[in-house]
Structure 1
Amino acid sequence: MRDRWRAVGVLAAALFAVNAVARVIIKLGFDGNDTAADRVSLGMFIVVGLVLAGVVFAWGRVVPAARWGTDVAAAVTVALLLTVLVGPLLVGNNPFGGGVGLFFAQIWLYLAAAAAGVAIGYLVLIALGRDHRSRQLQRYAERNVGKPRRVVRR
């Protein structure tokens, strides 16, 4: 059980680290340029989606969807809270300084990027037939193909 939560914590920390690096890049390199800051933010959301797609692809091969789904949801929730509440403090900003609209926009954009990454990873996994359920069904079909039907005579 401890290994399961360790993996969730590492994923949450990695997702938060992506956001922290993006915020530091924006602060140090593009402090006054809103267009460049928006591009770095977009890149951050793409990286978050790609990280989640890779994690779902890796975990979905060996673990049932219900288990990895709860693990990914927990990691995304923790990373989202850290990103929205702690991330701005890293660069000297107030989490609520931009107003309630910006605060909730960050939440919705992060959730959209996370959902897109999870969906892409899982759909690619299913399309390749490598998900846990497909592999179970394949093993079942291979195991039962060798047994002939018993004929019952009366």
Structure 2
Amino acid sequence: MKQRWVSIAALAAALFAINVVARLVTRLAFPDNDTAENTVSVIMFATIGVVLAAVAFTRAQRVPVGTWLPDLVAAAAIGMLLTVLVGPFVSGDYPFSGGAGNFFSQIWLYGGFAIVGTLLGYWTATMFGRDYRSKSLKAFTVAKTTKPRRVVRR
């Protein structure tokens, strides 16, 4: 149980670290450039989606979906809360400095990229037959089709 929370916290911290790096790049390299800020934000959200896709792809191969999906959802939710509530302080702002529309658009973008990334990771594992269920069904099929011949005594 403790190991489970450690992996959730580590993934949430990694997702938040991606946000911190993006905010620092925006703050230091493009201080008053809205176009560059939007570009860096999209790259940040895409990176978060790719990280979640990679984690989903990896976890889908080892354990059933019901085991890893809640952990991934919890980590993404914690990472999102850190991103929208703590992340603005890295930029020298506060969470609602851009208004409620900006705050909620960050939540929608984060959620959208997280969901799409997770689905792409899982679907890729499933497409290649590498997910836990496909492996289980293949092992079952092999076990049932390669039964040893039954010896008949007379």
Shorter-chain TM-score bucket reads over 0.9
Residue 32 of structure 2: aligned partner: 32
Residue 96 of structure 2: aligned partner: 96
CA distance in 1 between partners of 2:76 and 2:4 (Å): 15
5 Å-filtered alignment, 1:4-153, equals 4-147=4-147
State the Cα distance separating 1:4 from its structure 2 match: 1.3
Q: Structure 2: which 5+ runs fail to align?
A: none
CA distance in 1 between partners of 2:109 and 2:26 (Å): 18
CA distance in 2 between partners of 1:37 and 1:147 (Å): 62
State the Cα distance separating 1:144 from its structure 2 match: 1.1
CA distance in 2 between partners of 1:149 and 1:141 (Å): 16
1:56-111 CA distances to partner (integer Å, 9 max, x unpaired)? 01111001101111000000010000000000012210101111111100000000
Give runs of ≥4 in structure 1 deviating > 3 Å.
none
CA distance in 1 between partners of 2:143 and 2:79 (Å): 42
Residue correspondences, number: 150
Secondary structure of the residue aligned to 2:31 is: coil
Aligned residue type for 1:42: V
Q: TM-score, normalised by structure 1?
A: 0.94
State the Cα distance separating 1:149 from its structure 2 match: 9.5
Instruction: Report sequence identity in percent.
Output: 47
Aligned residue type for 1:41: S
Q: Structure 1: which 5+ runs fail to align?
A: none
State the Cα distance separating 1:148 from its structure 2 match: 7.2
